[in-house]
Amino acid sequence: MAPESIEEMGPIDYVVLEWPGRQPKGDAAPLILELVDRGIIRILDIALMVKAEDGSIAAIDLGELDADSGFAEFQGASTGLLSQEDLEEAANALQPGTSAAVLMWENRWAAPVAVALRRSGGQLVASGRIEIQAMLAALEALDPSAVTS
């Protein structure tokens, strides 16, 4: 990535997604591809791995995936920003007997705001995300009838 293009980028996010078993069914990948096609996000890096029952980790080559997984479409998505250390840290979070996708993307929808913020001398000083499970638990604590199964 050229330095001038970095100045024009939106915020960068990463996620570690986990599925039971060897590989996902493919429900999420088409939705991620749709976000890419619509210009909402740009995939910077993606890695897939499995964690065996004994705790050992193995990388999955995107080119070797079943077409049904949907992740084969991301073959070649790599900027090198996702390091081996990042992948090892992600693997530590996985349960044995699971597979995972680690994705890093640019939020292109937010790029104009990020660029304007940087040009005005502003900077991001904190960021976070509330997981849906935490939100549901908080809502249920406030009013158990507010959360339906």
Q: Examine residue 91 and state whether it is found in any structural domain, yes or no.
A: yes
What is the pLDDT averaged over residues 52-62?
86
Give the whole-number percent of the chain exceeding pLDDT 70. Answer: 85
More confident site: 75 or 56? 56
Quote the number of domains for the chain.
Answer: 1
pLDDT given at position 94 = 94
More confident residue, 52 or 26: 52
Which residues neighbour 50 within 8 Å (Cβ) at sequence distance 6 or greater? 22, 23, 57, 58, 60, 98, 99, 100
8 A C-beta contact, residue 48 and residue 62: yes
Residues of the domain holding 21: 3-110
Give the pLDDT score at 3: 47
Over residues 35-52, the pLDDT tens digits come to: 999 999 999 998 888 999
Instruction: Evaluate whether residue 130 is within a structural domain.
Output: no
In this structure, which amino acid lies at residue 10?
G
| Rounded percentage of the chain residues whose pLDDT exceeds 90 | 38
Question: Is 17 a domain residue?
Answer: yes
Residues 5-18 have pLDDT tens digits of 778 899 999 999 99
**Residue 40 tokens, joined:** 């909402």
pTM, entire model: 0.77
Query: Does 119 map to a domain?
Result: no
Give the closest residue to 50 by CA, choosing from 13, 102, 14, 105: 102
Average pLDDT over residues 20-32: 79
Within a domain: 115 = no
125 part of a folded domain: no
